[in-house]
């Protein structure tokens, strides 16, 4: 059995976890995990402030690692490897976690595994669902990323779609800001949308029906802004109409990708927005129409966490991969380095 210490600090969650790669269920695989959200610190600014995030990681991470090992009843010496997020993300925070991982690996003489945060999200459904086999079609939707990837194997990703402007989570966050719902916006928009009429506000579905494989949400966001400024709609109706328009876009793009990929075992959704119940419902319908299961990790594993980083480390360790202690932190790190740049691409790191 392999025990992995996972460390995550690429955005506004500080997290540490101990993973047992031989666990046969999700509960057995996550021996212990802790997450400290920085939501309160960033709320006054309506978004993540990188310097505040990095400083908070510095304060919280060291003691948290001690606590999570104590929760597991284990010590650093019991670990088989240390897996830390090495990018992409806010570089100050990434460096805090990666340098901590390097120091622990050096002190305890353990292998270091530098994890791509996006690979953590991409493999999280395999942590949650032991039967999920490669290859699968992955919709990866978070605050910084919006991609559809064919996951052919560990480290073997083909990007079929990305966003030419905003990520889906970013569209939720901006809509929340326009509606005065605060930060983080996704869960607040979803809650308010339940009380609204999704047909009340006519909103565009950018690129739907165009055959273009990529995402675009900037036009939808502007339309939400105009609807709010018109002053004639209830916030709940705007939230519901926005969510429906965004989901229509996602379903249309995912349908195109299902037609463009090779044979797959499942449709899989991961990343923070995968916590959205309406999105899960719509994808469930699409998957069953295509004769595929939909695999979605539990909402707590969809948003940033260290269990997914530890799990990606476990998969890498099993393949014999580890990294040198001088491995660099990377603010940008695409999963498919061969993917062609898209028109007007402004993909966030
Ligand atoms: O994966 P994640 O925790 O961090 C990034 O790597 O970006 O994703 C955070 C994003 C935020 O944009 C947040 O608003 C969104 O996921 N999100 C949601 C929901 N929960 C989180 N969006 C829509 N509905 C939700 N329930
Ligand atoms: Zn993330």
Cα of 136 from ligand 1 centre, angstroms: 22
* Per-residue pLDDT, 45: 87
Cα of 107 from ligand 1 centre, angstroms: 35
Residue with CA closest to ligand 1 atom 11 = 143
115-136 pLDDT tens trace = 999 999 999 999 999 999 999 9
262-288 pLDDT tens trace = 999 999 999 999 999 999 999 999 999
- Measured distance CA(83)–CA(313) in Å, rounded: 5
Identify which ligand lies nearest to the alpha carbon of 118.
2
**Residues contacting 2, CB < 8 A, separation 6+:** 20, 21, 22, 80, 81, 314, 317, 318
Pocket probe for ligand 1: among 147, 191, 272, the residue whose CB has the most ligand atoms within 8 Å is: 272
**Residues contacting 283, CB < 8 A, separation 6+:** 139, 250, 251, 254, 267, 269, 294, 296
Tally the C-alpha atoms within 13 A of residue 332's C-alpha that lie toward its C-beta.
5
Cα of 127 from ligand 1 centre, angstroms: 19
Q: Which of 146, 16, 152 is nearest to 72 (CA)?
A: 16
- Containing 28, the helix (H) or strand (E) segment is helix 26-29
Cα of 184 from ligand 1 centre, angstroms: 8
174-218 pLDDT tens trace = 999 999 998 889 999 999 999 999 999 999 999 998 888 999 999
pLDDT band at 344 (very low <50, low <70, confident <90, very high): low
Q: Which residues line ligand 1 (CB under 6 A)?
A: 11, 142-144, 169, 172-173, 184-187, 190, 271-273, 275-276, 303-304
* Per-residue pLDDT, 349: 36
- Share the mean pLDDT of the chain: 95
Cα of 134 from ligand 1 centre, angstroms: 25
Cα of 332 from ligand 1 centre, angstroms: 19
215-246 pLDDT tens trace = 999 999 999 999 999 999 999 999 999 999 99
The single residue listed with the structure tokens 């691409």 is 345
The single residue listed with the structure tokens 């036009």 is 219
Tally the C-alpha atoms within 13 A of residue 80's C-alpha that lie toward its C-beta.
19
Identify which ligand lies nearest to the alpha carbon of 194.
1
Residue with CA closest to ligand 1 atom 14 = 186
Pocket probe for ligand 1: among 280, 303, 307, 333, the residue whose CB has the most ligand atoms within 8 Å is: 303
What is the number of the ligand 1 atom nearest to the C-alpha of 173?
A: 14
Cα of 89 from ligand 2 centre, angstroms: 9
Identify which ligand lies nearest to the alpha carbon of 349.
1
Contact between residue 312 and residue 83 where contact means Cβ atoms under 8 Å apart: yes
What is the rounded end-to-end Cα distance, in angstroms, of the chain? 34
The better pLDDT of the pair 340, 96 is held by: 96
What is the number of the ligand 1 atom nearest to the C-alpha of 169?
A: 12
Model confidence, pTM: 0.94
Q: Which residues of 118-149 are buried (b: 16+ CB within 10 A; e: fewer)?
A: bbbbbbbbbbbbeebeebbbbbbbbbbbbbbb
- Containing 115, the helix (H) or strand (E) segment is strand 112-116
Residue with CA closest to ligand 1 atom 22 = 186
Cα of 299 from ligand 1 centre, angstroms: 10
* Per-residue pLDDT, 342: 84
How would you class 284 by CB atoms within 10 Å of its CB: exposed for 0-12, middle for 13-18, buried for 19 or more? Answer: middle
User: CA 72 → CA 100, 225, 244, distances in Å?
Assistant: 19, 48, 42
What is the number of the ligand 1 atom nearest to the C-alpha of 275?
A: 26
User: CA 255 → CA 143, 259, 277, 288, 296, distances in Å?
Assistant: 22, 7, 19, 12, 17
């Amino acid at each position: 059995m392999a025990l992995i210490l996972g460390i995550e600090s690429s955005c506004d969650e500080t997290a540490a976890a101990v993973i047992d790669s031989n666990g046969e269920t999700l509960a057995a695989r996550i021996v212990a995990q802790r997450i400290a959200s920085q939501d309160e610190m960033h709320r006054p600014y309506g978004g993540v402030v990188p310097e505040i995030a990095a400083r908070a990681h510095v304060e919280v991470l060291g003691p948290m690692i001690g606590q999570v090992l104590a929760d597991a009843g284990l010590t650093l010496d019991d670990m088989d490897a240390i897996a830390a997020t090495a990018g992409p993300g806010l570089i100050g925070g990434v460096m805090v976690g990666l340098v901590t991982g390097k120091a622990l690996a050096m002190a305890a003489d353990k292998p270091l595994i530098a994890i791509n945060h996006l690979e953590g999200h991409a493999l999280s459904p395999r942590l949650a669902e032991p039967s999920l086999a490669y290859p699968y079609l992955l919709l990866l939707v978070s605050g910084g990323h919006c991609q559809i990837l064919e996951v052919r194997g560990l480290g073997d990703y083909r990007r079929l779609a990305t966003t030419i402007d905003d990520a889906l989570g970013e569209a939720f966050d901006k809509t929340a800001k326009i509606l005065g719902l605060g930060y983080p916006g996704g869960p607040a928009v979803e809650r308010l949308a339940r009380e609204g009429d999704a047909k009340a506000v006519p909103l565009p579905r950018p690129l739907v029906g165009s055959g273009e494989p990529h995402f675009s949400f900037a036009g939808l966001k502007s339309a939400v802004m105009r609807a709010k400024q018109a002053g004639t709609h209830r916030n709940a109706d705007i939230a519901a109409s926005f969510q429906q328009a965004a989901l229509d876009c996602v379903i249309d793009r995912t349908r195109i990708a299902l037609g463009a990929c090779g044979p797959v075992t499942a449709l899989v959704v991961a990343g923070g927005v995968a916590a959205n119940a309406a999105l899960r419902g719509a994808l469930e319908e699409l998957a069953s129409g295509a004769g595929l299961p939909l695999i979605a990790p539990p909402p707590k594993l969809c948003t940033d966490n260290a269990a997914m980083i530890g799990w990606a480390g476990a998969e890498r360790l099993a393949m014999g991969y580890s990294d040198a202690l001088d491995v660099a932190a990377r603010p940008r790190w695409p999963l498919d380095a061969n993917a062609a740049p898209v028109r007007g691409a402004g993909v966030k790191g």
